[in-house]
Amino acid sequence: MSPKIKHHNYLYNIYNKIQPGSVIALDNHPVSYYILDFLNSKNVNVSIVTYSTDIMKYLCKNTTFNIIFTTGQINSALHTITGKEVADKIKQLQIDYYFCEARYIDHESFLFQIHEDIAHIQTSLINQANVSYLINYPDICNSDVKQNLSLIGQLV
């Protein structure tokens, strides 16, 4: 994997190292909710960057964390805010950690999503984060050598 993206079976150790005041970017994934609950239970006050309307809703109901988001187009089917404005705003942020979910990864560690808008936002998040972690589970489980892509395991 590229130096900007790390995947560890022991992400729990990473969550324990997150300091108050950190800026964390989250994709909509079950692990993201676990991170939010974990940090909230430890009273580690952080700021959350997200393009997921589901994560925003959860934050408002269950935490007192700061939420960083931008204007854009709401895609109600995907539960996301997308558009050029989102990626542009992200490029202005200093992000400590990005916990990323992706459907595919190529053999040079570039992430691919089914939706181009989300892929563009994720690229901006990876570029702005000090470190990014791939939170899919289980590990990469299916490769297609012809397309030079691997399907990343997903929670079922």
Query: 141 or 91: whose pLDDT is higher?
Result: 91
* Domain enclosing residue 92, as ranges: 5-151
Q: Looking at residue 30, what is its pLDDT?
A: 87
Backbone dihedral angles phi then psi of residue 135, each to the nearest 5 degrees? -105, 10
The total domain count for the chain is 1
pLDDT tens track for 3-32: 444 444 456 778 888 999 999 999 998 889
Q: Is residue 156 part of a domain?
A: no
Average pLDDT over residues 123-149: 66
Is residue 120 over pLDDT 50?
yes
CATH of the domain at 92: 3.40.50
Q: What does the DSSP assignment read for 23-72?
A: EEEE-SSHHHHHHHHHHHHTT---EEE--BHHHHHHHHHH---EEE----
Q: Is residue 117 part of a domain?
A: yes
Q: Rounded to two decimals, what is the model's pTM?
A: 0.78
Task: Please name the residues in contact with 19: beta carbons below 8 A apart, sequence gap of 6 or more.
Answer: 44
Q: Is residue 97 part of a domain?
A: yes
pLDDT tens track for 62-112: 999 999 988 888 888 889 998 888 888 899 999 999 998 876 655 555 555
Average pLDDT over residues 110-118: 68
